[in-house]
Amino acid sequence: MITKFYRKWFILAILFLLPVVFLLFLYPSTHNYNTLDIVGEEINEIDSITFINQNPSTFKDNITILSFLGNNPMKNITSALNLKELVYDKFKGFKKFQIISIGGKDSEFELGEVRKELLKSDELKYWHFAYADKESIDKIFNSLRSNHDMDSLNYTNQVFIIDKLLNQRGRIDDRDDDQIEKGIKLFGLYSYNSILVSEIKGKMNDDIRILFTEYRQKRKGNFNSNIRRISNLEGNDE
């Protein structure tokens, strides 16, 4: 009888503790937590692009994942599918989160087809699709810091994190401990490869969580940390 009593409470304790442990794993640990670096500033606002389905948005006051799907978005749908499964589905419930995907000037129809494909699995309330001419796309892309070029069809597999104040977020120093110990020259991570699942899971999602943690702490009034800006570390990012 006593054994059954303790077994019952043991099972209840496990059921109570498991969700708590799971939530702890979702957030960066205190030991590893740093603010997400500002790697670019004054990102060009998206006021010269046309949103489909009359569903406009802005970078300002939102936490944005920005992608460029090019002139033929359906050919680049893998990028969107990865973002849907690995990023959007995880963060759509967070306040002010959004994804904006931009296609070329004549890509409205194909953007609609990409959207239809993504809608097969869930809603897209916080995902905005837009198209623009090359000049407007170049203006936005060139305001971003990137180690990768956009191709001649306005496509890149790189996606970018932009905060509420139009700052680009990323990592000034993306070296791991082993690389630092070996004296590998500093290199940053300014954008994320939307085709490379391991990079989205292993780096991008962690960085998005860090940014949301930063804003959550600011709202509570107990966040006191200086965010590193690449503009203040001139010469160290090359």
SS (H, E, C) the chain: CHHHHHHHHHHHHHHHHHHHHHHHHHCCCCCCCCCCEEEECCCCCCCCCEEHHHCCCCCCCCEEEEEEEECCHHHHHHHHHHHHHHHHHHHCCCCCEEEEEEECCCCHHHHHHHHHHHHCCCCCCCEEEEECCHHHHHHHHHCCCCCCCCCCCCEEEEEEEECCCCCEEEECCCCCHHHHHCCCCCCCECCEECCCHHHHHHHHHHHHHHHHHHHHHHHHCCCCCCCCEHHHCCCCCC
pLDDT of residue 30: 41
pLDDT of residue 218: 80
Whether residue 10 is contained in a domain is answered as: no
> Looking at the whole model, is its pTM more than 0.95?
no
pLDDT average, residue stretch 82-97: 95
Whether residue 189 is contained in a domain is answered as: yes
pLDDT average, residue stretch 155-183: 95
* Per-residue model confidence as pLDDT tens digits over 10-21: 676 676 665 555
Q: Which pLDDT band holds residue 121 (cuts at 50, 70, 90)?
A: confident
Better-scored residue on pLDDT, 237 or 70 = 70
Torsion of the alpha carbons at 27, 158, 79 and 107, rounded to the nearest 10: 130
Whether residue 24 is contained in a domain is answered as: no
Whether residue 123 is contained in a domain is answered as: yes
**Which of 173, 168, 144 minimizes the C-alpha distance to 68?**
144
Torsion sign over Cα 67, 73, 79, 83: positive
Largest CA distance in the chain: 78
pLDDT of residue 227: 73
The structural domain count of the chain equals 1
The CATH number of residue 228's host domain is 3.40.30.10
Q: Which pLDDT band holds residue 81 (cuts at 50, 70, 90)?
A: very high
Do the beta carbons of residue 63 and residue 178 sit within 8 Å? no
pLDDT average, residue stretch 19-40: 62
pLDDT average, residue stretch 190-208: 96
Q: Which pLDDT band holds residue 54 (cuts at 50, 70, 90)?
A: confident
Q: Tell me the residue range of the domain where 220 lies.
A: 34-232
Q: Alpha-carbon distance 49 to 26, whole Å? A: 35
Q: Alpha-carbon distance 112 to 19, whole Å? A: 39
pLDDT of residue 28: 47
For residue 137, is pLDDT > 90?
yes
Q: Which of 69-73, 93-97, 140-144, 223-227 has the lowest mean pLDDT?
A: 223-227
Q: Alpha-carbon distance 150 to 86, whole Å? A: 23
Whether residue 9 is contained in a domain is answered as: no
Cβ burial, residue 177 (10 Å; 0-12/13-18/19+): exposed
Whether residue 149 is contained in a domain is answered as: yes
**Which of 228, 190, 199 minimizes the C-alpha distance to 38?**
228
Whether residue 11 is contained in a domain is answered as: no
Whether residue 176 is contained in a domain is answered as: yes
Do the beta carbons of residue 41 and residue 229 sit within 8 Å? yes
For residue 63, is pLDDT > 50?
yes
